Structure 1
């Protein structure tokens, strides 16, 4: 595994550049993707899933993901 492997980095919520709780920003940083694309993708998936499951998952991630130091 390389050092840039996402599985080696901890999954945390971001402090800088967050929109609500830093969940999508943290996922984007962990995956090495653009945060805007992650936010848009999450929004589309949430709307297509009738909103409730997407909101529930976001709240769970907000509670379970530690905030970065």
Structure 2
């Protein structure tokens, strides 16, 4: 089965991007969230928030991906 990236509906804090990425890569979402926050401070908050916002609009919801299969 082909992996698909989606925004998680069950493991979300804001838009579900990090929950979906964690599921896609098979890692814990908490670890990915910690890495994201550390990267925010390391890059002086640019461009990660922009990438997150763009992904929130581009990446489909979990239900949309499941229905299309």
C-alpha deviation, 1:36, in angstroms: 0.1
Residues matched between the structures, number = 63
Whole-angstrom CA distance in 2 between matches of 1:35 and 1:15: 13
1:10 matched residue in structure 2: 4
TM-score by length of 1: 0.85
Structure 1, unmatched stretches of 5+, are none
User: Partner of 1:62 in structure 2?
Assistant: 56
User: Residue 36 in 1 paired to residue 30 in 2?
Assistant: yes
* Divergent runs of 4+, >3 A: none
**RMSD (Å), alpha carbons:** 1.0
Partner of 1:17: helix, strand, or coil?
A: coil
Gaps of 5+ in 2: 64-69
Query: With structure 2 as the length reference, what TM-score do the two structures score?
Result: 0.85
